Chains A and B, each alone.
Chain A
Amino acid sequence: MLNYDFDWAIITSGRYFEWLMAGVYTTVQLSVVSIVLAFLLGLIIAVMRMSHVSPIRWFAYAYLEFTRNTPLLVQIFFWYFGSYQVLPRFINEWLVTWNFEFAAAVIALTIYTSAFIAEDIRSGVRSIPREQMEAARSSGFTFLRAMQYIILPQAVRITIPPLINQFLNLTKNSSLAMTIGVAELTYQARQVESYTFKGYEAFTAATIVYLGMSLVIAALVNIYNRKVLATVKGR
């Protein structure tokens, strides 16, 4: 016999419910801010990776290898504990007044995710026929302008499904931010558990929320593939 009293009420109402919801809010905030920044950074890195100037290309290559091949947790610790020693004092002071844990988590998640996004965008660009670049260059666009107006808009449309998957990964990865004290969903579930000893309920709730977010995101990919991609493809 199970010798455990399930108490779902404890997490569906009252103080602990509020904690969990605050955690959900922080997780969403952390993920959305990071994915936007990671996308922009990923675009830049992808273009650098395809540059005709070798030092720029090598820098991007090194960045990609370095970021993708080190554990995210180490990167989070690096930015949280390590950056104090590296960053100038005034930046540290400014970050502390803001919310240093959150900032460090955003920086780490952004950099980590940007590497994967850059590679997704790059393979998107490679799937665009070479002739598109030729057509753009023939009209008098520079390499960067051709990328901006002709190649990347097409590549990004193709890349959106893998990008959404990166967002999914990022949302799940954001749970690691609890290790530096960001009060996101996992952190709050842990808090609820410490106060109530209702670990089963608390982490079931967290699991359901993560799963729910994933399913919603996956559904968006499906809709995008059916509705949007079908119309822009068919070259």
Chain B
Amino acid sequence: MIRFEGVHKWFHNLHVLNDINLHVRQGEVVVVCGPSGSGKSTLIRTINQLEPIDKGKLIVDGMDLSDRRTDITKLRAEIGFVFQQFNLYPHLRVLNNITLAPIKIRKLARKEAEEQAMALLERVGLAEKRDAYPAQLSGGQQQRVAIARALAMKPKIMLFDEPTSALDPEMIGEVLAVMQDLAQSGMTMVVVTHEMGFASEVSDRIVFIDEGIILEEAEPSEFFKAPKHERAKQFLKQVLSPMH
């Protein structure tokens, strides 16, 4: 579904992605973690070309992102992206946030789009918020709407860029629950997160990245029990018990 082959990226002199090789199969849930500034956000943002790559090959859903002729806009419609800061459209009500792209891009009839949006709102537990504006919702609610918005395009892949990092602790659970439900439905997911509970319970694989290099790639049981790399050990110690 997603295949990185020797992908490099630079921000000026900074080598943010260094020889990335990664393969995400259909239906897999892959968690990407690493210290801040490690390049994990950049990695996930290259998948829908919010960040273009400089070198190497990146194939997503059979389309070659390194090829200039690839229709990126069309590919993006097949990929849901959930941001750290939700990025809902503040001028639109919740329901319209969800129906906008299906109506304008998928050319769905308004009625059909709204029925689908309501079903999604039920699924994320926010049906009663259909007429609210984003600013009237809590962070956790906004993020669940953002997930519903992404799902409304019936994406083949869902990308999550630190979806719970901007949330108050008591709201993290509600968002993770929606993501877990999604993972169990067989969605292909790449998730950048520090939520190691989610990583160990839900993910099929964990990718540990530091300074733009994938240092470790392992199943969660393996990764948590016996991380091979020294940096990964340190990182785990910090995120699991931040006080020490």
Q: Do A and B come from one complex?
A: yes
Checking A141, A153, A233 against B73 with a beta-carbon cut-off of 8 angstroms, the contacting residue is A141
Q: How far is the CA of A150 from the CA of B149 in the complex (A)?
A: 14
Considering only CB atoms, which chain A residue lies closest to B82 in the complex?
A: A138
Q: Does A139 contact B (CB under 8 A)?
A: yes
* B50 touching A139, Cβ below 8 Å: no
* B73 touching A149, Cβ below 8 Å: no
* B104 touching A138, Cβ below 8 Å: no
Return chain B residues, CB-CB under 8 Å to A145.
104-105
Q: How far is the CA of A232 from the CA of B91 in the complex (A)?
A: 6
Considering only CB atoms, which chain B residue lies closest to A135 in the complex?
A: B87
* Chain B interface (Cβ < 8 Å from any Cβ of A): 48, 50, 73-74, 76-81, 83, 85, 87-91, 100-101, 104-105, 133-135, 149-150, 153
Cβ distance B105 to chain A, nearest Cβ, rounded Å: 5
Cβ distance A2 to chain B, nearest Cβ, rounded Å: 58
* A138 touching B76, Cβ below 8 Å: yes
Q: How far is the CA of A131 from the CA of B77 in the complex (A)?
A: 17
Return chain B residues, CB-CB under 8 Å to A140.
73-74, 76-78, 101, 105, 153
A137-B76, A235-B90 known; A131+B104 contact, CB < 8 A: no
Return chain B residues, CB-CB under 8 Å to A14.
none
What 14 new A-B contacts, CB under 8 Å, besides A131-B85, A135-B83, A138-B80?
Answer: A129-B87, A131-B87, A136-B89, A137-B76, A138-B76, A139-B153, A140-B73, A140-B76, A141-B104, A145-B104, A149-B100, A149-B104, A153-B91, A232-B90
Checking B74, B81, B85, B134 against A138 with a beta-carbon cut-off of 8 angstroms, the contacting residue is B81
* Chain A interface (Cβ < 8 Å from any Cβ of B): 129, 131-132, 134-142, 145, 149-150, 153-154, 157, 231-235
* B89 touching A131, Cβ below 8 Å: no
Considering only CB atoms, which chain B residue lies closest to A133 in the complex?
A: B87
Return chain B residues, CB-CB under 8 Å to A134.
50, 83, 87
- Of all A-B residue pairs in the complex, the 3 with the closest CB atoms, nearest first, are A140-B77, A135-B87, A138-B81
Cβ distance A229 to chain B, nearest Cβ, rounded Å: 11
A-B contact pairs, 9 of them (CB 8 A): A129-B87, A138-B79, A138-B80, A139-B105, A139-B150, A140-B76, A145-B104, A149-B100, A153-B91
Q: How far is the CA of A232 from the CA of B50 in the complex (A)?
A: 27
Cβ distance A198 to chain B, nearest Cβ, rounded Å: 52
Considering only CB atoms, which chain A residue lies closest to B77 in the complex?
A: A140
Q: How far is the CA of A149 from the CA of B91 in the complex (A)?
A: 10
A134-B50, A134-B83, A150-B89 known; A141+B135 contact, CB < 8 A: no
Return chain A residues, CB-CB under 8 Å to B79.
138
* B91 touching A138, Cβ below 8 Å: no
Q: How far is the CA of A131 from the CA of B85 in the complex (A)?
A: 9
Considering only CB atoms, which chain B residue lies closest to A157 in the complex?
A: B91
Return chain B residues, CB-CB under 8 Å to A141.
73, 101, 104-105
Q: How far is the CA of A140 from the CA of B103 in the complex (A)?
A: 12
Q: How far is the CA of A1 from the CA of B73 in the complex (A)?
A: 79
